[in-house]
Amino acid sequence: MYQVQELSGGERPSAGAKDTAIMEAYLSYPFSLSLVVAGSLFYIFIIHSHSTEIVGVFSLLNAIAFLFSTVFSLGLQQGMQHLISYHLGRGRTG
């Protein structure tokens, strides 16, 4: 599980943790771009190698998967933040 580092007074997190977070934020953009490029190339491959019906079915399934992921992710981050802060505030760590 995750370990919470308690800081007292004027203590700050280590510089290594801050540098790692910044590097991960910078790297998320090229990774996202590479996923878009790979997805586009795959879609072009599907269009050229299969019939119109197969492309339509693939597009429909892709749209349904996108909608499901969008609907199920709504509010999940905020709910987890509330749950974690609520339990940490009450002194529960398990």
pTM of the predicted model as reported, rounded to 2 decimal places: 0.48
Q: Are 28 and 62 contained in the same domain?
A: no
Give the gyration radius of the chain's Cα atoms.
21
Q: Are 65 and 88 contained in the same domain?
A: yes
Contact yes or no for 54/43 (Cβ under 8 A): no
Provide the pLDDT confidence category of residue 84 given band limits of 50, 70 and 90.
Answer: confident
In a domain, 4, yes or no: no
> How far, in whole angstroms, is CA 48 from its chain's centroid?
31
Which structural domain, as residue segments, surrounds residue 24?
13-49
pLDDT at 71: 80
Structural domains in the chain (count): 2
Q: Are 45 and 64 contained in the same domain?
A: no
Q: What tens digit of pLDDT does each residue of 23-76 get?
A: 777 888 888 899 999 989 998 999 999 999 999 999 999 999 999 888 877 777
Instruction: Give the Cα separation of 86 and 83 in Å (integer).
Output: 5
pLDDT at 60: 94
Contact yes or no for 37/45 (Cβ under 8 A): no
Provide the pLDDT confidence category of residue 1 given band limits of 50, 70 and 90.
Answer: very low
pLDDT at 85: 81
